[in-house]
Structure 1
Amino acid sequence: MPNCEPGAHTVEKIGGTSISNAAAVIENVLVGGRKRSALYNRIFVVSAYSGMTDRLLEHKKTGKPGVYALFASASSKSAWIEAIVEVRLAMKRLNAEVFGDSSERRVADEFVNERFEGVSDCLLDLQRLCSYGHFRLEEHLIAVREILAAQGEAHSAHNTVLLLRKLGVEAIFVDTTGWRDETEMSLDARIGTALSAIDLGKQLPIVPGYSRCPGGLVRLYGRGYTEVTFARIAVLTGAKEAIIHKEFHLSTADPKIVGIERVRAVGPTNYEVANKLSNLEVEAIHSAASKELRHANIPLRVKNTFDPQNDGTVITRDYVSDSPQAEIIAGLRGVHALGVEPQQVVLG
């Protein structure tokens, strides 16, 4: 574990839409008015840039195939190769937006090139191997999905470190993706090993939301895997608070559906409510991550990246409102509840 006193630091996750707005994240979350020691005693876990995991796997909502889905279908070799080239170009376009024509952009591009040359070679070799018939492609698809997913968070984390170091912050890229690492280890061991040399009082670790582990983090937790990494780091390091920075407040309804002017931020609440929201696909926090934080009695704060003055919603284990009230109204399309009540049987 890092060099720190338990309860002296926070662990914070930055969502995909937020991390895509580099200027806002730097000003409202990572740096802002902080100087010297105020910059540290925080661990950041970052999601991939908005839409990048959709390109790497498949679109989360529409199912449009990304690199993984095209590779898994094996219908056209050229289709997945074209898709992986496009992802690589998309990452470089993001690099240009973030860094302009600076030396950091060239470093960022080299990182993308190295990663995707490796991934492309790996997939081509696997495809050739499976063409002999003795090897079954479906036996390797879990690993393919994992290695592709990892590249989105590795890219955003590496870029974030470059941005911070340019500003004089002692940021450290803590790579938990297992890239070219032949060692097999548990999730806890990988996190612990990656953070072991960090001095939280003097360094700011930036961790990809993907962590390689037996069984595959994506297979085990779906697209909520970044939150599991985030929660596990908070528990293992003894964080005083876990914080999620996202594009909206935790709201009484989905602002994208009903409009931001028709919702309000949810006030203090408890993990029981957070779990119910997760079951209804309201993106507060993955239920597995919520369970980790709840058992460790670590408060979770959900903040709006673009409204930094607002303290956000604090979720704790034992919170009970002063008076009974409805916390939120939510639902799922195409899901119906059927209640069955037994009739009294009259025997004559």
Structure 2
Amino acid sequence: MKVLKFGGSSVANSENITKVLDIVAKTSKETKVAVVVSAFGKTTDKLLAGANEALMDITIAKEILEAIKSLHFQIIEDLIFTNKKAVSEEITAMFNRLQSIYEGVFLLQELSDKTLAKVSSFGERFSSFIIANAAKELFDAIHGESRDLIITNNDYLSGQVNFKLTNKNINSFFDKNKHQVVVLGGFISANLEGETTTLGRGGSDYSASIYAADLNADELQIWTDVSGMYTANPRVVKQAYPISEISYEEAMELSHFGAKVLYPPTIQPALRKEIPIRIKNTFDPENLGTLISKNPKKGTDVKGISHIENISLITLEGGGMIGIPGFSKRLFETLSQQKINVVFITQASSEHSICVGVYENDAPKAKLLLDETFSIEIDRKKIKPIIVENELAIIAVVGESMKNHQGLSGQMFSALGRNNVNVRAIAQGSSEKNISAVINKYDAEKALNTLHEQFFEEKTKQLNLFVTGVGNVGERFLAQLHQQKKFLKENLKLKIRVIGISNSRKMVFDTTGINLKNWKELLENGEPTTLDTFYEKVKKSNHINSVFIDNTANQQVSEVYEKYLRQSISVVTCNKIACASSFENYKNLKRISRKYNASFLFETNVGAGLPIIDTLKNLINSGDRVHKIQAVLSGSLNFVFNNFNEDSTFHDVVGQAQKEGFTEPDPKIDLSGVDVARKILILARESGYQLELEDIANSSFLPEESLQTTTNKDFYASLIKYENHFQDIYKEADVKDCRLKYVAEFSNGKANVGLQHIASDHPFYNLEGSDNIVLFFTDRYPENPMLIKGAGAGADVTASGIFADVIRIANQ
């Protein structure tokens, strides 16, 4: 014999019930079948809502009842033909009794547990009777009444089963039954006096397990709307997948911690008789689903990740607890007597505190009760008043083989820490099947995705990017990302999604990833943005492995880095302003980056895509010391002076440099030497020296009038006005057979930038186009410096440098 249980979604309407009957028909050809059904769809919720409305307005209660009635009679119309009149009359009589109960509630203004049990039982009474009669149209079937078979105590809403009587009733009924299929209502039961009781919400699974155990069934099948128990909630973790096999103990742990596919008490009766449980999908019946058994096939050490939301932590704390027995006993007795369920327990080894997790709606009542229980100790200052923390969730990593694998706890908490998920409390059983942590409930989705990636997606890492600035560099960066998407996934096992994009006017977000084929159109139709609204949107999205990318040269943008880093959101930037700001701010950003495990990378601050800063970091980290730096660090200035001569005008060459993307949007930043000064400052700081921007001597070649302009138009006009000045600079170098290079130097703790005459025997002489070059003189390279040379300006190379920093984060 097999026992098949079908949940509310499986019997929500006529179409779904037809699928259920097909499954039962196929199974009944092989063996006898007991079918346990839930109420149709959300019927139980509606029945209880109607009862509560009846206390205030019987008219509304009757309207709710009429809607429920309409669904049930539609199913009768669709599925029952030969016995339609008799079925309709019986269901009508049941609805009339239910309406009388509502009217009694309204008249007496009383809604007891006994009445609630009776009201909620009608859902399964309706569904089992209708489905049994629909089954009779197709195969040999009969209706069974669970209230005659499952006997409980007088707890009407969560009855404790009398297994001795229940076993006797079930065996007696099925011994006499000659039909191939029996359809029974789940969830419902009765006490010794024959009064209706229920087994608690989710009790239909439990009913099915009781039948399976008492009948020694070959298998218990739980049919639902998903293909088994998943590695995590698939509605929250898109990469979650079904678990093929799992042990009873692992399934109990997962179901206890929120895996809603299975009601936690379900497993106990089946476990007692070692009856296999299979979770199946009504809408994909060929899928094997999940098999729960005593000896599942060996799989991964971690089987699944689950969570419970809306948890409160209740803490009993105080020095007066140390060495005094009985505090734990009194705490749990108080909660137990008031039927407050404890879902989490942890205690400090110092005996200074006990911490328990309860459901949030029980927390106010629990605090009042415990404050009263420990009132004497609180008054005498031996312990503190009960502390309650709300808006929490419990997240649990479950696996029977975890005890044999060292370091799983470390992996769990390291992964959560990297993503700024603060752990409030931790519990791990001695069996080591479960590691549980209490976290902020708003971090639950991020935590689930983080841990799923850690334990189940080790081959593919996901990064979620938030991009500000989509000018030349930003546009090329997005293009490179789109182009390399397939390569990254196949070769680096890396999935990069752009979740948010903004410019100075608009922003667009998509939690599943923005389509980079048409991001411009999406952004143009996006919502208005500010730096604060974009940040709040990023923070609220709360994605794992988040990276904020600044492709601007904007000071205000650079001032928000700290906010992102404090949320454990990494920052990648080509904007030099932050790292060239005050030394205090530079060090602060570095410190916060380390504190919150968020990368702060700015390779493109110097040399665009050249690995200058990364190379310098490797030198310093390996114990080398920098004594001197000589460099040409402005691709734009190098381009300008490589192309400027007596046959061209300085104005036109600068205009060409800007047109080709070699300069900042304001070319005066480059030509004034400020940009180069920032770069040598950053290199000096990365070498371990403390300098400010004003410490760097800047010998500008621009006329004072050019330096004082406030718009690009006025700046270019000044270049035309002082063309003779620039020609004189060129001729002076040409006469000496030298080339003009804007050089940055750092030596003996001092730095300077300025235009120099470079002779033909100097390494800088043949530097072409917009190339950069840097020479590091160190302990290891005292005479022949380490030399890095290559393209140092342009949107493509700068974008590739940003891209490289993103890859560095992924590889951490």
TM-score normalised per structure 1:
0.75
User: Partners of 1:19 and 1:157 in 2: how far apart?
Assistant: 10
My pick for the range that moved more, 298-307 or 157-166, is 157-166
Distance 1:303 1:256, change over 3 A: same
User: Partners of 1:146 and 1:82 in 2: how far apart?
Assistant: 21
Equivalence for 2:217 = 239
User: Partners of 1:195 and 1:126 in 2: how far apart?
Assistant: 37
Equivalence for 1:26 = 21
- Structure 1 unpaired stretches of 5+: 1-8, 58-65, 132-136, 344-348
Q: Does 1:204 align with 2:199?
A: no
| Contact 1:270–1:320, Cα closer than 8 Å, also in 2 | no
Q: Does 1:308 align with 2:291?
A: no
Between Structure 1 and Structure 2, which shows a larger proportion of strand residues?
2
The superposition leaves residues 194-226 of structure 1 with CA deviations (integer Å, 9 ceiling, x where unpaired) of: 545312xx42111111332228643xx421211
Equivalence for 2:760 = none
User: Partners of 1:267 and 1:84 in 2: how far apart?
Assistant: 41
The superposition leaves residues 111-144 of structure 1 with CA deviations (integer Å, 9 ceiling, x where unpaired) of: 320111122224434654x37xxxxx35xx2222
Q: How does 1:156-305 map onto structure 2 within 5 Å?
A: 156-167=127-138, 169-177=139-147, 187-188=166-167, 190-192=169-171, 194-199=173-178, 202-214=179-191, 217-218=197-198, 221-249=199-227, 250-259=229-238, 262-305=239-282
Secondary structure in 1 aligned to 2:235?
A: helix
Distance 1:187 1:216, change over 3 A: farther
Q: Does 1:88 align with 2:69?
A: yes
| Contact 1:171–1:203, Cα closer than 8 Å, also in 2 | yes
Q: Does 1:331 align with 2:307?
A: yes
| Contact 1:39–1:204, Cα closer than 8 Å, also in 2 | no
User: Partners of 1:265 and 1:338 in 2: how far apart?
Assistant: 29
- Structure 2 unpaired stretches of 5+: 155-161, 314-343, 351-812
| Contact 1:187–1:212, Cα closer than 8 Å, also in 2 | no
The superposition leaves residues 254-286 of structure 1 with CA deviations (integer Å, 9 ceiling, x where unpaired) of: 233344xx3311121111111112212212322
Alignment length, in residue pairs?
A: 301
User: Partners of 2:345 and 2:187 in 1: how far apart?
Assistant: 39
Equivalence for 1:62 = none
| Contact 2:82–2:137, Cα closer than 8 Å, also in 1 | no
Secondary structure in 1 aligned to 2:201?
A: helix
Distance 1:224 1:338, change over 3 A: closer
Structure whose CA Rg is larger: 2
Equivalence for 1:3 = none
Equivalence for 1:60 = none
1:248 CA displacement: 0.6
Q: Give every structure 1 segment of 4 or more consecutive aligned residues whose post-TM-superposition deviation is greater than 6 Å.
A: 336-340
1:333 CA displacement: 2.9
| Contact 2:245–2:291, Cα closer than 8 Å, also in 1 | yes
The superposition leaves residues 133-176 of structure 1 with CA deviations (integer Å, 9 ceiling, x where unpaired) of: xxxx35xx222222222221122222222222222x11101122
Distance 1:190 1:126, change over 3 A: farther
Query: What letter matches 1:121 in structure 2?
Result: S
Distance 1:126 1:147, change over 3 A: same
Q: How does 1:11-160 map onto structure 2 within 5 Å?
A: 11-20=3-12, 21-27=16-22, 29-32=23-26, 38=29, 40-57=31-48, 66-71=49-54, 74-96=55-77, 98-99=78-79, 102-125=81-104, 128=107, 130=108, 137-138=110-111, 141-160=112-131
User: Partners of 1:123 and 1:295 in 2: how far apart?
Assistant: 40
Query: What letter matches 1:30 in structure 2?
Result: V
User: Partners of 1:338 and 1:41 in 2: how far apart?
Assistant: 44
1:334 CA displacement: 4.0
User: Partners of 1:196 and 1:318 in 2: how far apart?
Assistant: 31
| Contact 2:36–2:183, Cα closer than 8 Å, also in 1 | yes
Distance 1:154 1:334, change over 3 A: closer
Query: What letter matches 1:275 in structure 2?
Result: M
| Contact 2:4–2:36, Cα closer than 8 Å, also in 1 | yes
Query: What letter matches 2:241 in structure 1?
Result: R
User: Partners of 2:87 and 2:282 in 1: how far apart?
Assistant: 24
Secondary structure in 2 aligned to 1:330?
A: strand
1:295 CA displacement: 1.3
1:40 CA displacement: 4.1
Distance 1:39 1:208, change over 3 A: farther
My pick for the range that moved more, 334-343 or 145-154, is 334-343
User: Partners of 2:130 and 2:142 in 1: how far apart?
Assistant: 11
| Contact 2:186–2:204, Cα closer than 8 Å, also in 1 | yes
1:241 CA displacement: 1.4
Bigger RCO (CA 8 Å, 6+ sep): 1
| Contact 2:117–2:196, Cα closer than 8 Å, also in 1 | yes
User: Partners of 1:31 and 1:148 in 2: how far apart?
Assistant: 31
Secondary structure in 1 aligned to 2:4?
A: strand
Query: What letter matches 2:306 in structure 1?
Result: A
| Contact 1:178–1:211, Cα closer than 8 Å, also in 2 | no
User: Partners of 1:69 and 1:154 in 2: how far apart?
Assistant: 20
Secondary structure in 2 aligned to 1:253?
A: coil
Secondary structure in 2 aligned to 1:45?
A: strand
1:191 CA displacement: 3.8
Query: What letter matches 1:70 in structure 2?
Result: E
